[in-house]
A and B are shown apart, each in its own frame.
Chain A
């Protein structure tokens, strides 16, 4: 069960229909396994020769079930491919005779090895209610084909599934079937080029319907730098939407779910809950505040610093007073506490349910339940978000993994006395490039030593650039550890030099998404100076820290997607050392950019310098105003990314006058 759902999602199932037999109950493999001889120039170490997947939805004794069949044959041709394929796991969530694994291996010499019952082990996790059957495949060697049939029966809430058909290895002859009683209405969607499921009438028994799609070849899809593989992977999704027998339609629709979420979160608090909540709010310190946003921040900080979010605790398992008393709860219960508190404080908010876009990319035209993973709160008046289960995040900054795709927003709506939740699928925009900043200000002093100059560094981190560290300071108690963390952040620049005047500003959750984290220190280091006789080479480019580069990449397949928009700003100031001249300052000037369709810069790297007497100030500006570009723009994108890495190579030459 996902952290956002509870049993309130009912099955809407007709109680009178008869159990259907699993159409693949007696499915078995051909007597002779498929042999495979790769072409001489084929360098694939693993090829899926066929992959047949079938789900059958069934109603038995008014409970929902799902039968599953997978029949897959994989050619393995390396030690690592053997290691990837010599262990088989089958999740089984109920006991059933249908839970079966059959595995056989055909070696290149035609020898066949079949696994038996004795090979199968079982494991149980009472907490997640998961159970596995698993086995190790005997006799598998490179050049073999391993063939697997697995079937299982599981209970189903008919909320549907998303099944990924594409992997890191090429696949031939893939098919996906969905079989269900013909009084049910099922909604399906195929993604990224996998064919749409269509009605197949070839073999069906009475009262059953089948939807099917096949692909003769699905290429391998690997993840790439700056991309979102999930968004582009071939997959199929389905869910129950109606029952003709009961004439109920729009089952599992977002309209219905929005209302359920709303009601779950807005359950009228009991007396005990109200009392406990009032006390909790008083203790949090919100009652003394006037400003609404300050109230939100104060309450959030108090909740996240006193109540522990635990994945081990089931959703909707405690009342508000119990949660406050127990100090630990599920995401759903913590969200409910927030909602009740904001209701009590009269702060307008919407409930947002979405998922990590790198796990399942939320699209607008399919109301999949697989997108509904995590709760957030949205404050329309301020256009800001709060992430209840992310302990290091604070109001104003939502984890970027959950933005840049869609989400289900649920807001309160009243009709007369009736208050319900109204759902709307809206895009969750990324923050702007100005929100996420990383800046470096350096002053270099050569006056005391050319070999070991003194560097004064000031680093600032804002938005997502600070999100992994700014809050952490509040959760570390030992001063020694805090100091280590500060040093770690400066280490990229200071290398192993002794830091002096180490200072830090705006540490902790109170500043998160409000003010940048600032660190400053000075140190003496030879790291940025090379020597050749009487001349010095000042590796000024290295002062901005090592930059991401994409100089030599494999052929690109996926469009570009970055985590978030951002900007970097750096200044480096130094005086030309007395007795030396600088002849190659012009190397500093760089200007590389990408234009959007309107001809405006949306990504850029620019560096330049200003001279005043003997003092030189170098400016570097880099920004990404957008995070998505088509694959056709890949070369231009790479140029901007590489420009920063090219800046790293800039070295200035100080020659004696």
Chain B
């Protein structure tokens, strides 16, 4: 993923005449309104000034945020930090504590700011810096004030304005002041979640847009929920065009403009013929005739040989590197991997395309938001038998034909040529292609121990997951990881033997043959034994809390197919067999079925999850499904000694 996301800095705020407010009265007012909150934003005000200066767009963002502290431990808010980069540059920062004195607030300014290069996160090198500082004398009733002045150095990189914050907001406002001749576009997302008052007016030739909201609740995030952008109200704004010497200059009037902008970033990419890559590709595909085989060979070579290391300083975050550099260095980020894939395919005589896409954290389609906020990732696309196949080498284990899981269902912008692109939705991989299929044959020994043989296979993203976890672990370590992966019956599951297949062959399921034993699993009385054939009680603890607000998201659709065959021990006969059961709706299905065949009892359990996002309206069905699982999991078979 590129660092586009790094540009969405925490947004900011402002207060007028606060210094002359009555601190005590002000505190009581806010505190009574929010008795259980530790802090509340009293005012947030962002002002964006867009003007034309010296033949260029000049964009300044002033962000002011005032946070009132309502708790005795106000000092937990002491540490302040602001991130910025060369493209969204922090020209000036002011921070202070408004200390609640008797009659008015006393402003104590922060005097020391320290810069830190941000080496954290998945980006190896970028130009993101963090300004760090400490607010002095924070006490209950004090206000923490920050004023940030950013210069947006690329008119395509305007950041969204967030109405909602992690703490309640009393007043929030976005003001955009445009010079005459600057045409602004905007769109409100999730606007129904807040009461937003919009006004526009003209003043001294400038157009002033203003969005205001009051009493905004805090945003509460929940586990496994879609990103907050799907729910929280926010404003996307962009410059459509501006006039320079009477001539209209387009910026982002439509999606065509975004495509044209992106095209400029790639216009010099891989324009020369590189004999080194050509020779290499020739040797890689020399014995292959079908296009699919060639694509696969190249795609897998890139996955195997190009390690993910991202250099994202300034425009490095947006411009893919030349394929020859990637080839020689053996590392790169998503753009670089896309660059080398498309270039290698070119030498193999196959046309392929650089493609921009947003990961699933981003809710927008290009058709509803044609700004750079819609994507954060780059892949390659190739047409095979009339359909596009998406090639994302950042996911090392996924097979050909699978997109990376985090772009499923997203709209891709495929760069056909300088003037042409196609919008295509990336397919969502079906549950049956991400399957764990586990079949075991078990017997009981004379001392009531279960012994068994099994074979388990992992396909698609499930294959990805387990192999990612195992990576290059030693045999001993693999045994312990696998033991935890397919533990059966109880944690007294001993994995006696295992043998892996297809670790590196992405076109086949990852398969493990194994042998195991479980002690203390069978319950015996004088002349009867009880065995619960539900050796894998998956999803038995997954009920969704009634109070949950957000939908439930999972990375991919998936299917579990379990077969347990139990041999009735000599001298015993079946006394009780649980009944079959099943349930199915558009999101879920489950089936438990028992079968007797001679002295063998088989339990087949199939569970399928057919959603990426389980909507809140389906939570009741989900909980009924979990209840059904629990009920079936609690059923044992019983065998009686023959008389």
| Chain A interface (Cβ < 8 Å from any Cβ of B) | 43, 45, 78-83, 86-87, 121-127, 132, 134, 136, 138-141, 305-308, 310, 312-313, 325-328, 475, 477-479, 495-496, 526-527, 529-533, 535, 537, 546, 549, 551-555, 583-584, 645-646, 648-649, 651, 653, 655
A138 to B330, CA, bound (A): 6
Contact present for B525 and A655 (CB under 8 Å)? yes
A-B contact count (CB 8 A): 174
Contact present for A649 and B520 (CB under 8 Å)? yes
16 additional contacts (CB under 8 A) given A479-B36, A496-B541, A532-B530: A79-B307, A126-B115, A140-B307, A141-B305, A306-B72, A307-B75, A308-B76, A312-B79, A526-B630, A530-B635, A537-B636, A551-B491, A554-B477, A554-B480, A646-B492, A655-B525
Contact present for A86 and B136 (CB under 8 Å)? no
CB closest residue in chain A, given B543: A496
Contact of A124 among B79, B117, B471, B541 (CB under 8 A): B117
B342 within 8 A of A: no
A444: min CB distance to chain B, Å = 16
Contact present for B124 and A87 (CB under 8 Å)? yes
Contact present for B74 and A327 (CB under 8 Å)? yes
Question: B18: which A residues are within 8 A, CB to CB?
Answer: none
Contact of A86 among B125, B307, B530 (CB under 8 A): B307
Question: A326: which B residues are within 8 A, CB to CB?
Answer: 75, 136-137
A327 with B631: in contact, given A127-B132, A532-B638 (CB under 8 Å)?
no
Contact of B114 among A126, A136, A551, A648 (CB under 8 A): A126
Question: A132: which B residues are within 8 A, CB to CB?
Answer: 117, 119
Contact present for A312 and B476 (CB under 8 Å)? no
Closest 4 interchain pairs by CB? A308-B75, A123-B117, A78-B472, A533-B576
Question: B79: which A residues are within 8 A, CB to CB?
Answer: 310, 312
Question: B638: which A residues are within 8 A, CB to CB?
Answer: 532-533, 535
Contact present for A79 and B137 (CB under 8 Å)? no
A327 with B137: in contact, given A80-B471, A123-B117, A653-B530 (CB under 8 Å)?
yes
Task: Return 22 A-B CB contacts under 8 Å, by A number.
Answer: A86-B331, A124-B115, A125-B117, A127-B116, A134-B124, A136-B311, A136-B331, A138-B330, A140-B330, A307-B75, A308-B76, A308-B78, A312-B78, A327-B74, A530-B532, A531-B634, A532-B575, A532-B637, A532-B638, A535-B638, A551-B492, A583-B525
A82 with B75: in contact, given A138-B331, A649-B521 (CB under 8 Å)?
no
Contact present for B38 and A477 (CB under 8 Å)? yes
CB closest residue in chain A, given B332: A136
B526 within 8 A of A: yes
Contact present for B492 and A645 (CB under 8 Å)? yes
Question: B119: which A residues are within 8 A, CB to CB?
Answer: 123, 132, 134
A138 with B530: in contact, given A496-B541, A583-B525 (CB under 8 Å)?
no
A3: min CB distance to chain B, Å = 16
Question: B476: which A residues are within 8 A, CB to CB?
Answer: 554-555
CB-contacts of B541-588 with A (<8 A): 541, 543, 575-576, 578
A53 to B34, CA, bound (A): 59
Question: B471: which A residues are within 8 A, CB to CB?
Answer: 78-80
A44: min CB distance to chain B, Å = 8
Contact present for B523 and A138 (CB under 8 Å)? no
Contact present for B309 and A86 (CB under 8 Å)? yes
CB closest residue in chain B, given A480: B36
Contact present for B36 and A477 (CB under 8 Å)? yes
Contact present for B483 and A136 (CB under 8 Å)? no
Question: B305: which A residues are within 8 A, CB to CB?
Answer: 141
CB closest residue in chain B, given A125: B116
CB-contacts of B291-324 with A (<8 A): 304-305, 307, 309, 311
A313 with B523: in contact, given A79-B471, A123-B119, A531-B634 (CB under 8 Å)?
no
Question: B124: which A residues are within 8 A, CB to CB?
Answer: 87, 134, 136
B477: min CB distance to chain A, Å = 7
CB closest residue in chain A, given B576: A533
A51 to B457, CA, bound (A): 42
CB closest residue in chain A, given B99: A325
A136 to B332, CA, bound (A): 10
| Chain B interface (Cβ < 8 Å from any Cβ of A) | 36-38, 71-76, 78-79, 114-117, 119, 124-125, 132, 134, 136-139, 304-305, 307, 309, 311, 328-331, 396, 471-472, 474-477, 479-480, 483, 490-495, 519-521, 523, 525-526, 530, 532, 541, 543, 575-576, 578, 626, 630-631, 634-638
Question: A552: which B residues are within 8 A, CB to CB?
Answer: 479-480, 483, 494-495
Contact present for B307 and A537 (CB under 8 Å)? no
A124 to B118, CA, bound (A): 9
A325 to B75, CA, bound (A): 11
A491 to B525, CA, bound (A): 32
Query: Which of A132, A138, A308, A325 has the most chain B CB within a 10 Å cutoff?
Result: A308
Contact present for A532 and B329 (CB under 8 Å)? no
Contact present for A136 and B309 (CB under 8 Å)? yes
Question: B477: which A residues are within 8 A, CB to CB?
Answer: 554
Question: A477: which B residues are within 8 A, CB to CB?
Answer: 36-38, 71
Contact present for B75 and A327 (CB under 8 Å)? yes
B397: min CB distance to chain A, Å = 10
CB closest residue in chain A, given B638: A532
A552 to B477, CA, bound (A): 11
A645 to B494, CA, bound (A): 14
A327 to B136, CA, bound (A): 7
Contact present for A649 and B490 (CB under 8 Å)? yes
Contact present for A551 and B494 (CB under 8 Å)? yes
A328 to B309, CA, bound (A): 39
Question: B134: which A residues are within 8 A, CB to CB?
Answer: 310, 312-313, 328
B263: min CB distance to chain A, Å = 28
Contact present for B329 and A653 (CB under 8 Å)? no
Question: A529: which B residues are within 8 A, CB to CB?
Answer: 634
B379: min CB distance to chain A, Å = 21
Question: A535: which B residues are within 8 A, CB to CB?
Answer: 530, 638
Contact of B330 among A127, A139, A555 (CB under 8 A): A139
Question: A530: which B residues are within 8 A, CB to CB?
Answer: 530, 532, 634-636
Question: A79: which B residues are within 8 A, CB to CB?
Answer: 304, 307, 396, 471-472
Question: B494: which A residues are within 8 A, CB to CB?
Answer: 551-552
Question: A526: which B residues are within 8 A, CB to CB?
Answer: 630-631, 634
B247: min CB distance to chain A, Å = 41
A138 to B332, CA, bound (A): 10
A531 to B474, CA, bound (A): 41
Contact present for A141 and B330 (CB under 8 Å)? yes
A530 to B138, CA, bound (A): 57
Question: B304: which A residues are within 8 A, CB to CB?
Answer: 79
Contact of B490 among A140, A496, A648 (CB under 8 A): A648
Contact present for A653 and B523 (CB under 8 Å)? yes
Contact present for B329 and A310 (CB under 8 Å)? no
Contact of B474 among A43, A127, A327, A495 (CB under 8 A): A43
CB closest residue in chain B, given A547: B491
Contact present for B309 and A87 (CB under 8 Å)? yes
A359 to B532, CA, bound (A): 46
A533 to B578, CA, bound (A): 8
Contact present for A583 and B526 (CB under 8 Å)? yes
A141 to B327, CA, bound (A): 12
A530 to B305, CA, bound (A): 52
Contact present for A308 and B73 (CB under 8 Å)? yes
Question: B631: which A residues are within 8 A, CB to CB?
Answer: 526
Question: B331: which A residues are within 8 A, CB to CB?
Answer: 86, 136, 138
A526 to B631, CA, bound (A): 8
Contact present for B329 and A139 (CB under 8 Å)? yes
Question: B311: which A residues are within 8 A, CB to CB?
Answer: 136
A225: min CB distance to chain B, Å = 11
A619 to B38, CA, bound (A): 44
Contact present for B116 and A305 (CB under 8 Å)? no
Question: A537: which B residues are within 8 A, CB to CB?
Answer: 523, 530, 636
Question: A141: which B residues are within 8 A, CB to CB?
Answer: 305, 330
Question: B38: which A residues are within 8 A, CB to CB?
Answer: 477
CB closest residue in chain B, given A140: B330
A137 to B593, CA, bound (A): 55
Contact present for A127 and B117 (CB under 8 Å)? no
CB closest residue in chain A, given B504: A79
